[in-house]
Amino acid sequence: MKIHSVDVFIVDLPTVRPHQLAMHTIVTQTIVVARLKDDEGREGWSEVATIGGASYGESTPEAIKVNIDRYITPIVIGKEPVHFDKIMYEVSKHVRGNYFAKALIEAAIIDLAARAKEVPAYELFGGKIHSSLPVAWTLASGDTEKDIEEAKELLGQRRHNIFKLKIGKGDPNKNVEHVLKINSAVGNEARITVDVNQAWDEDTANYCIAALQDGGISMVEQPLPTWNHEGMARLTSRFRVPIMADEAANTVQDVFQIAKHRAGNSIALKVCKAGGLTQTKKVAAIAEGSGLGLYGGTMIESSLGTAICAQLYSTLPELKFGTELFGPLLFKDNLTLNNITYENFEIVIPDGPGFGMEVDKEKLKHYTRE
């Protein structure tokens, strides 16, 4: 069984409501889907998501596609999918960076290999430890009363009891006040976290984190720009509330430096930014060995990409801060014939061959860019 062809699709999926970050507001999310075929007709599928073109990071959807088509595909054609580690080692020798592209191609190879063996992909990573994982939801209306109402409704449905607020855009003091009012209203039933998306300087962070800590907020994510490791270390040392590195915690080397200098005491895992499932597992091992808490992050993938992340996260011993794999709930439509299940405040880990998701090819065709 050898890889015969590689196809990459850029897809734009509309969301049910605007999703605001410091650098971009998502109303249509761009995802990149890959399909690999082997010489026996089997298919392996994968997905990565990007945010706001080049506003979030360097891996634009267009760059992901062209670099796979031009530079990565020739390396993987003719290879046996079961040797995915060897294939990706060869890719790494010829292609620098391009972590999203590498994650996309590796996941499709793994899906293909697992389907050939008729096992879930998590079996190729030691098997799942968890059958479900806690999942957070982002409150993003910007209206305090509406966010409180939404949080209470989701608590009543037993869908989420961890809520994140994006507070990197606008007046920091007003944002903190907004968060504390929500925490006061639902904090006895839920855990409230905040994500700054690198938007603060250190003076602002010192003032605002003190207020958030006193108000009972349970975690502060990436308050400073990615380059400011020393500032993150000072914040981590000063405050009791956990300081999480996200945009700064990408590769194995990044996470080693964060652990060494304590530039955060927890990290957000993301398969795409680490460069694939295998690399994410290595990142998690470094964090575990150095006592950093783990969070199963998201780039707001649809159901396929969410299944990929969920299956890998299920193989990790502990995710101290749960996951943020709510992506499929944010979209108006779905690219798969089956859906991700959410129940009792958790995401259920998909089973079935590969990543357990069956792509709806008509929907893929409908949403793919010309």
Classify 301 as helix, strand or coil: coil
| HSE-up (13 A, CA, CB side) for residue 106 | 29
Reported as type and span, the H/E element at residue 153 is helix 144-156
Work out the angle between the directed axes of helices 202-214 and 172-186 (0-180°, nearest 10): 20
Residue 166 annotated to the active site: yes
Which residue in this structure is represented by tokens 């069956």? 358
Reported as type and span, the H/E element at residue 138 is strand 137-139
Give the end-to-end CA distance of the chain in Å, rounded to a whole number.
Answer: 32
Alpha carbon distance 196, 22 (integer Å): 7
The phi-psi region of residue 121 (left if phi > 0; otherwise alpha if psi is between -120 and 50; otherwise beta) is alpha
**Quick check: 267 and 236 in contact, CB under 8 A?**
no
Q: 65, 166, 270, 273: which is the annotated catalytic residue?
A: 166
φ, ψ of residue 130 in degrees (nearest 5): -120, 140
Pairing label, strands 219-221, 191-195: parallel
DSSP character at residue 135: B
| Residues that are catalytic | 166
